[in-house]
Amino acid sequence: MTANGLPVGRIMDITQYTKNIPAALLEFVREVREHSPVAVQSIHVVGSVLTPDYQAEQSDVNSLFVIQEPQTDFLDFVVGLGKRFGRQRVAPPLLMTENYIQRSLDVFPIEFFNFREIHYTLSGDDILAGLEIEPECLRLQCEREIKAKLLWLARIYLETLAENTRLSQALYNSITDYIPLFRAILFSIGREIPEAATEIAAAMESVLKIDIAVFQNLYAMKQEQATPAGDDELKLLYSNLYMATQLICDYVDAMDN
């Protein structure tokens, strides 16, 4: 346990998924370690590649580099590598200094919570494992993010003019943002956090005591790159997502009481 009462232990066994890390990322890291113009303190794999939700043909492979300073010559060096490895779904790395991480835990607690729990260190010290997240900061960002989702839902309906393909793609792609938020909510209330996205949605359903299967439907749509059959089906999907998001918003609001 940390001093503030939150456990540091991983929410899943990351090692069973390290086999998913593609050779392209390992080659990218080797190039950085051997030819970087500046010192790189540590390199970490993060994100879906370390979960059962990873799909090699669809999912980008994400990483976090801890460096001294993001100097222009280093950025140019990474740009050069990006031109080679981007086609192999190696996403541009997140570049952070250790000072930035420590001073940003209160601002981005959801992001750093997910980094802490779902990462694999390829080089250097594992500085992510010991990050301490303040419970109230985590709750506040959960509230801010879920309320922002309500605003986004209204905006995306208008921006897409409710056109079937564009709106459905926006909705099922949004599941990528909901799942890290759900992990943080479950962690905040002391619930066990499953590994797979559909199981995480089911855990949230258990917490709220209502049917929010819309998140599982969205995840299935994203996996299949599917489009609802018609306008009525799309409107029902949208309405269900909006209502589910509102219920989660109400629940997170009540967490402070």
Element (H, E) at 111: helix 109-117
pLDDT range class, residue 69, cuts 50, 70, 90:
confident
pLDDT at 33: 94
Check pLDDT > 70 for residue 160. Answer: yes
d(CA 157, CA 150): 11
pLDDT at 9: 52
Contacts of 256 (CB under 8 A, 6+ apart): 139, 143
Check pLDDT > 80 for residue 10. Answer: no
Check pLDDT > 80 for residue 93. Answer: yes
Identify whether the C-beta of residue 40 lies closer than 8 Å to the C-beta of residue 66: yes
pLDDT digits (tens, 9 = 90+) for 94-140: 999 999 999 999 999 999 999 999 999 999 999 999 999 999 999 99
Which DSSP string do the residues of 154-209 spell out, in sequence order?
Answer: HHHHHHTTT-HHHHHHHHHHTHHHHHHHHHHHHHHTT----SSHHHHHHHHHHHHT
Identify whether the C-beta of residue 203 lies closer than 8 Å to the C-beta of residue 187: no
- Return the percentage of the chain with pLDDT > 70, whole number: 96
Tokens of 201: 């949605």
Q: What is the mean pLDDT of the chain?
A: 91
pLDDT at 70: 74
Quote the radius of gyration of the chain (alpha carbons, Å): 19
pLDDT digits (tens, 9 = 90+) for 22-63: 999 999 999 999 999 988 999 999 999 999 999 998 889 999
Q: Which of 47, 7, 22 is nearest to 129 (CA)?
A: 7
pLDDT at 13: 81
Please state the length of the chain.
Answer: 257
pLDDT digits (tens, 9 = 90+) for 183-193: 999 999 999 99
